[in-house]
Structure formats: C-alpha cells, structure tokens
Amino acid sequence: MFPVPGATTPEVLAAVAATHPDREFVVAEDGRASYGEVAVRAAALATRLRAAGVQPGDRVGLSLPNGLRWVVGLLGAHAAGACALPLNTWYKPAEFDAVLKRATPRVVLTPENYDAFGGDDISTPCTEDDISSALETLRAAPAGETDLALLLFTSGSSAEPKAVPLTQGGMVSTARAVGERQGIRDGDRFWFALPLFFVFGCSNALPNALVHGATLCVQERFEPAAALEFIERERCTVYYGVAPVTRALAAHPDLARRDISSLRTGTANATPEDLRIAIEELGVTDVCNAYGLTEGHGHSTITAHTDPPAIRMATQGTPLPTQEVRIVGEDGAPAPAGTTGHIQIRGTITPGYLDAPEQNATAFDPDGWFRTGDLGWFDDAGRLHYIGRSYEMIKSKGINISPAEVEALLVQHAEVDQAFVFCVETDTGDQDVGAVLVTTTVEHDRLAKEVVDWARERISTYKVPRRTWVLTADQLPLTPTGKVSKRLLRDQVLTPST
C-alpha cells in the first residue's frame, strides 16, 4: 500500500503529486489527469477563489456533474481553506434555493462559470515548474485537521434536510481506514458511477483513492452497458456499488461479453443476496459489506476483504479504528452481545448539525454518542448485524418484525430486483407486513401471489407480507437525495388513485 502522509486533502494531494506526479489520478468523461496535473489545477483554482473573496472557513458550492472538474473543484476549495458544499444536481429550484440560503456559500461553481474560476484548459500539459509551484500552494493551504472539509445536506422522507459538517481529519483518516479493510493496493483503479455529491462519493470513494495514491475512474452517471464497457476498458479493480447497481450489472446481457475480471475489492452495501451477486456473478471476490451514514463519513463498520464470503454476506463487519460503535437498550445501557438494540457511534464523526442546537441535543447524548436511529446487534466476534431503522419496525400481534430481514429474503426471488417492506395498520389497531416488489416482469398479479407463496415456505408465517404491491423502478418516489422514500411509497400504494 502506498503510504501517503497528511491529515488534510491538500497535504495528501501534495504528497502524492511530489512522489508520483505522472501517476493517473482521475479518469472521467471531461478529461484525464495525473496527480501532478490535478495539483496544478487545484492550486490555480484556489488562487482564483481567494481572488474572488473566498476566505478560510467560507463555503464553496459545487454544482457540477461527476468528472475531473468536480474533483478539482473539491480539492481547489480545500486548498483555499474553504469548506466544500456538494450540491445535489437533482434539486428542484426551490430546494436548491433553500440549501443556498442555509449554507450561505461565498461562491458556487457551475458548468457555466467553472472555466472562469478554473482558468485553465484541461488539455494543457503541466511543466515541472508548474507542479513545484502548485506543491508550495497546497502545502501552505490554510486548512487544518479540525477544519471543516464538507457540508452535506441529507434528508429523510418527511423532515427538512439536515446540514452535516465533516472535518478534514475525519475525511482523511476514515478513508485510510476503509481502504485498509478493503485491501487497497498500490496501482488500484476505483470505479465510481454514483453521484459524487453523496457521502459515498465525496467522503469515501474519492478520498479513499486519494490517500492511497490510486486512480479514480468516475462516470457522469450510471448506465449498465456503459459501465461494463468502462470497467473493462479502464481495468478497474475497486468496485463502489449499491444494490440496484449490482443487480443491474449482473442482469445486463453485455456482462457475458465484457471482461470485468479486473474487479477485486470495494464496497457493495446490500443484502446477503446482493453481496452474493457481487462476489459470484460480477466476480468482485473480495468485496466488503459495511454499515454507515453521512454523520460517520459513510462507513462506521466494515468487513475485512480477507473475511470468508459468508461473513461478508451476513454481517456489516467490525468498527473502524477511527470510530466507536455500541449497542444500547431502551434504558440507554450497553447491551450484551447477541442482543438487539440501538446503534450509537462516537469518534471520527460529525461535530454536530449546522446551526441546530435543539437537533444536536436530541442526536447526541452527554458523552458524545450519536444516536443513529438504527437497530442492530453484535455477535461474539464483534461484528455488527444491521437490523433496520428503529421507527420502521413492525409489531404484529406483539411480535417485532424487522423490515430489513424480510426485504433481504424477498430480493432472493429471481424476479424481484428490490423490495420495500413497511407496516400497514389494520382495522383492529394491529400492524400487518406490507411489501412493494420492484421488477421488470410484466405479470404483476402473478408475481405478487408467487412471491408470497415462495416466502411462506422460507420464513415464519407472521413475517410473510399480508399486503403486496408490484411496481417498476420508474414508479418509485424519491427523496431530494435520490433515495427511495418509504413513507411516500407507503402513501402511494395505500392511497387509492383518483
């Protein structure tokens, strides 16, 4: 593994660029660049941002598509001592305006103004003098370990988005720890096609590649055929995917004619069946499973790439050395191994939500433990088993049912691409299990009945969905951050159309 010193991204970029200036850093649709070239462009952007009035501690918005400019924008903002504000390019105008009002960025980089701030032609080669000057700028960057690196807006289905600050030191140290668990090697090439403005990209995949001196091969958007061709052409070795991406790649007919055998490790957070697909069908033999959330830089626990596949499929691994993770009961006392309770994290996590003292008082206990709102349990080996969101638990006839457990079974059916399980109130005041099945199959009524009968043979009767709906992926309601909203989905299927 390539050792990269530094506790901030400008320090790390300077260290890699000084040692390996010609090593490829970014491969994207808007250009390819080495570490030396990215260092020069980030330093130039920092100079222009400061000329535009950006001061250390200010925020610089990034409203750009995935690509080389996005990466340079983030690192240039950091080199200017600013906190990067990744903006969701799926926002509607009102959502965009609301975030800008709360975050108050000094500057927002967009496709329209980027060239004016970037001030360089991506195709222009850099000289040794250019790189030497850039290294001086990066090493002198007014960014410290405890300074803010990112301000991310994350939302659930019903509340105003939360503004989550993350620090330079947390971003760098978490990325190092994640890469060690994944077994990142010198010369690795990361594949990433999800939005960089999510924590999985900007505070996980990108800094992971940076701190290990690796290459980030990033696509502007995910499309299975293009992704398979890109992975084959660029010989990507590190897979960053989620369940729908894994299934889409495995189901695409081009998989049979594309050589993606270069893939070895990475993260594919998902159900046991999705991990199996990544390992056995996509051939990502060392891929890891993880648990995390934005407040903890995306990963708080992760399996080791050397763990047996059965462990990587069934657990979310052990806590990262940068964080503490514990399970507590309803009384707040730590729960013993094997006991389901509330997941709390502490350590290298957000210092607290932006300008939200009441929210922070609820989210953190007096000892600094962050209440995630998730349920899980630790086994005797210290590995986390994630159960689901606490508010999503279903209580049917006095028995607690985990939606995540039922979802994990339903997606094992060959015709079910995704499953969303939630409670359905009964006329007697009890709760039944409801399920939405996502498929490309046209015979929806047949599939609904078949899946219920299939599930009845595999799980306890009280866990079998009593109400089942079948939808296609384009019918799913999304939150502003691009996630499926279970609340809106539940309302959608339970409210008769007019």
How confident is residue 123, by pLDDT bands cut at 50, 70 and 90?
low
Would you state the pLDDT for residue 94?
82
What does the radius of gyration of the chain's CA atoms come to, in whole angstroms? 23
pTM of the model: 0.86
Do residues 375 and 340 make contact, with C-beta atoms less than 8 angstroms apart?
yes
Helix (H, G, I), strand (E, B) or coil at 131: helix
Separation of alpha carbons 335 and 287, rounded Å: 30
Separation of alpha carbons 152 and 156, rounded Å: 13
How confident is residue 389, by pLDDT bands cut at 50, 70 and 90?
confident
Would you state the pLDDT for residue 485?
85
- Positions of E strands within 5-80: 24-28, 31-34, 59-62
Separation of alpha carbons 97 and 422, rounded Å: 33
Greater confidence (376 vs 497) lies with 376
- Mean pLDDT for 233-239 is 98
Q: Is the pLDDT of residue 92 over 70?
A: yes
- Mean pLDDT for 93-105 is 91
Would you state the pLDDT for residue 498?
43
With CA atoms as reference, report the closest residue to 243 among 423, 443, 407. 407
Separation of alpha carbons 454 and 153, rounded Å: 40
Tens of pLDDT, residue by residue over 156-193, are 444 578 899 999 999 999 999 999 999 999 999 999 99
Would you state the pLDDT for residue 154?
84
Separation of alpha carbons 498 and 480, rounded Å: 26
Separation of alpha carbons 381 and 187, rounded Å: 32
The mean pLDDT value of the chain amounts to 92
* Parallel/antiparallel/unpaired status of strands 162-167 and 148-154: antiparallel
Would you state the pLDDT for residue 180?
97
To which residue do tokens 């296609």 refer? 472
Greater confidence (91 vs 333) lies with 333
Q: Is the pLDDT of residue 249 over 90?
A: yes
User: What backbone phi and psi angles, to 5 degrees, belong to 374?
Assistant: -105, 155
Greater confidence (24 vs 3) lies with 24
To which residue do tokens 């695409």 refer? 252
- Residue percentage of the chain with pLDDT more than 70: 96
Would you state the pLDDT for residue 239?
98
Separation of alpha carbons 153 and 103, rounded Å: 9
Separation of alpha carbons 336 and 130, rounded Å: 58
- Mean pLDDT for 40-63 is 97
Helix axes 168-182, 9-19, angle to 10 degrees: 50
Q: List Cβ neighbours of 388 (8 Å cut-off, separation of 6 or more).
A: 374, 375, 402, 403, 404, 405
With CA atoms as reference, report the closest residue to 294 among 345, 340, 368. 345
Separation of alpha carbons 290 and 102, rounded Å: 31
Q: Any idea what DSSP says for residue 475?
A: G
Tens of pLDDT, residue by residue over 399-447, are 778 888 899 899 999 999 999 999 998 877 778 999 999 999 889 999 9
Would you state the pLDDT for residue 431?
87
Do residues 4 and 12 make contact, with C-beta atoms less than 8 angstroms apart?
yes
- Residue percentage of the chain with pLDDT more than 90: 79
Helix (H, G, I), strand (E, B) or coil at 317: coil
Do residues 86 and 152 make contact, with C-beta atoms less than 8 angstroms apart?
yes
Q: Is the pLDDT of residue 236 over 60?
A: yes
Residues listed for the chain: 498
- Mean pLDDT for 452-465 is 91
- Mean pLDDT for 263-285 is 93
Count Cβ atoms below 10 Å from residue 445 Cβ, excluding itself: 8
How confident is residue 132, by pLDDT bands cut at 50, 70 and 90?
very high
Q: Is 299 exposed, middle or buried (0-12, 13-18, 19+ CB in 10 A)?
A: buried
To which residue do tokens 């000289």 refer? 127
- Mean pLDDT for 360-377 is 95
- Mean pLDDT for 196-212 is 96
Do residues 289 and 315 make contact, with C-beta atoms less than 8 angstroms apart?
yes
266's tokens: 């990475």
Would you state the pLDDT for residue 215?
98
Separation of alpha carbons 226 and 43, rounded Å: 33
Would you state the pLDDT for residue 119?
57
SS3 of the chain: helix, strand, coil, percent, to 5: 35, 25, 40
Would you state the pLDDT for residue 497?
57
Transcribe 412-460 into DSSP letters: TSTT-SEEEEEEEE-TTS-EEEEEEEE-S-S-HHHHHHHHHHHHHTTS-
Greater confidence (95 vs 283) lies with 283
Do residues 141 and 177 make contact, with C-beta atoms less than 8 angstroms apart?
no
- Mean pLDDT for 68-95 is 94
- Mean pLDDT for 78-99 is 92
- Which region among 240-244, 249-253, 358-362 has the lowest average model confidence (pLDDT)? 240-244
Would you state the pLDDT for residue 143?
97
Q: Is 13 exposed, middle or buried (0-12, 13-18, 19+ CB in 10 A)?
A: buried
Separation of alpha carbons 81 and 309, rounded Å: 42
8's tokens: 């901030």
Would you state the pLDDT for residue 481?
61
Separation of alpha carbons 153 and 91, rounded Å: 11
Separation of alpha carbons 281 and 308, rounded Å: 17
Q: Is the pLDDT of residue 88 over 60?
A: yes
Q: Is the pLDDT of residue 121 over 70?
A: no
How confident is residue 482, by pLDDT bands cut at 50, 70 and 90?
low
* Parallel/antiparallel/unpaired status of strands 431-438 and 467-471: parallel
With CA atoms as reference, report the closest residue to 127 among 21, 11, 13. 21
